[in-house]
Structure 1
């Protein structure tokens, strides 16, 4: 039986985390930050925001609550890309580095936006020496794993096609020798979907 599972990261692949970051900043401090680098990979570099510590940092972190994780916007073309993959017979699974307590919020967010995704797997962010997603992915054994963060490809077994989304190049961690482990690179999920559906043999 052919493998018809595609595992998708959320932030930076399906959802616009960087835009959500600015909204969280406004929730915390009452001011929507000015955009200084629209091509920045990291949200802190995209927006004109101060480096936080102490009580202000804790106050800001509190904004990343269930409301935040259930209200992110879809990235352009991502919903249609998923619908095209679904129509072609693929089962889409979101594999996210969120903690488990926010998995329901993430699932609500995806479904309210219209993503045809029924399953969300939350792995947490930390795993010594390898991607925190590696164990879940190797058990799931999808045909493809799509992520926008190269370090999360580490430890994913070679039989899984690793597709890297190379968004927002300024300050990107998607560089170096580890790129050799990537099977394909794409600017966004829609580009991946179009390419995969035109070339895939599984």
Structure 2
């Protein structure tokens, strides 16, 4: 019998995109930014960084490269939380709104950090009313899907348990009526989701 699947987002669920962003800024501009708001949802609000002109944006894009996507640090407790799911009999797959060119880099990042994950599906992040991840989730048919961005739960099949990680509240998109209509459960981080999930009678 195949193991039941759990699909996990990467940035904000498994990996610390904010710290990765600060490192990329330092690579691009030679100075590590100071923290402005540790509770900010978006990295541009968390770090004391300038709004970039076109030349600055080009410099920043240049460092969002293979190195960036393969060296992001894990979020506290995330590796252990994944091992708890794995040891409980679940297969884990990462579904990330990432360009397909960096799919292998993301998988290498997860494996190097010790995550028990052998597959990454990069969906791109086209802005639509339906989640760019919905088709992948429909094809995978996982028992649960965990993401930290509420709009990415739109269009996910109803039989999938959708878990929303809230994380930082300031400027968060994870508010409003859709929290209750799209998310079957809500958690502060992946560790809290795993505590909740493993306490349930799941298939």
TM-score (norm 2): 0.97
Distance 1:100 1:16, change over 3 A: same
Distance 1:159 1:121 in 2: 20
Tell me what 2:194 maps to: 193
Residues 1:139 and 2:128 aligned together: no
Q: Is the 8 A contact 1:26 1:33 kept in 2?
A: yes
Following superposition, which runs of at least 4 residues in structure 1 exceed 3 angstroms of deviation?
Answer: none
Residue 62 of structure 1 aligns to a residue whose secondary structure is helix
Tell me what 1:85 maps to: 85
Distance 2:67 2:173 in 1: 28
User: What is the CA-CA distance between 1:32 and the residue it aligns to?
Assistant: 0.3
Distance 1:155 1:97 in 2: 15
Tell me what 1:20 maps to: 20
Which string of whole-angstrom CA distances, capped at 9 and with x for unpartnered residues, describes residues 63-105 of structure 1? 1000000000000000000000000000000000001000010
Distance 2:29 2:122 in 1: 29
Deviates more, 1:94-103 or 1:191-200: 191-200
Distance 1:83 1:161, change over 3 A: same
Residue 20 of structure 1 aligns to a residue whose secondary structure is helix
Tell me what 2:7 maps to: 7
Structure 2 runs not aligned, ≥5 long: none
Tell me what 1:64 maps to: 64
User: What is the CA-CA distance between 1:129 and the residue it aligns to?
Assistant: 2.0
Tell me what 1:76 maps to: 76
Tell me what 1:184 maps to: 185
User: What is the CA-CA distance between 1:2 and the residue it aligns to?
Assistant: 8.3
Equivalent residues in 2 for 1:98-177 (5 A)?
98-126=98-126, 128-177=128-177
Equivalent residues in 2 for 1:22-61 (5 A)?
22-61=22-61
Distance 1:66 1:2, change over 3 A: closer
- Equivalent pairs, count: 202
Q: Is the 8 A contact 1:143 1:161 kept in 2?
A: yes
Structure 1 runs not aligned, ≥5 long: none
Superposition CA RMSD, Å: 1.1
Q: Is the 8 A contact 1:70 1:105 kept in 2?
A: yes
Distance 1:33 1:55 in 2: 19
TM-score (norm 1): 0.97
Distance 1:142 1:168 in 2: 26
